[in-house]
Amino acid sequence: MKPRSPDKTPILLTPEEKNTLFSAAQSVWNNIGGDVLQCVADEQRKNINHVNIPADEVVEVVCDASRLHEDLKRNKELTPNLEAIFADYPQLERLLLRECFTCGRYGM
């Protein structure tokens, strides 16, 4: 994803669009989070229940490989505003960190 230039105005999402985005992001994390944490546990040679990752890494994993975007598209929930925010990864990342993945770290 190519970041938008800083002179662009922020994309304003409606409460419904935010809810759709956050619900989809949480769903992606719920589907892949266990595997991600297991990889971290294996790498650190620890039990999965004793590892966690920072929220910014959760957001990166959730947005990686366009899975979040594709899930919204497949479910016909991709509005023009949501489509636009995917073109501005820094804004998408800030929004997910500030309002969706608000805990500092995530684990089992």
Q: What is the pLDDT of residues 67-102, one digit of tens each?
A: 899 999 999 999 999 999 999 999 999 999 999 999
Give me the mean pLDDT over the 7-21 stretch. Answer: 91
User: Mind listing the pLDDT tens digit for each residue in 28-78?
Assistant: 999 999 999 999 999 999 999 999 999 999 999 999 878 899 999 999 999
pTM given for the model:
0.88
Helix, strand, coil shares of the chain, percent, nearest 5, are: 65, 5, 30
What pLDDT score was predicted for residue 2?
46
Sequence spans of domains, the chain: 26-107
pLDDT for res 8? 73
Name the residue with higher pLDDT: 10 or 46.
46
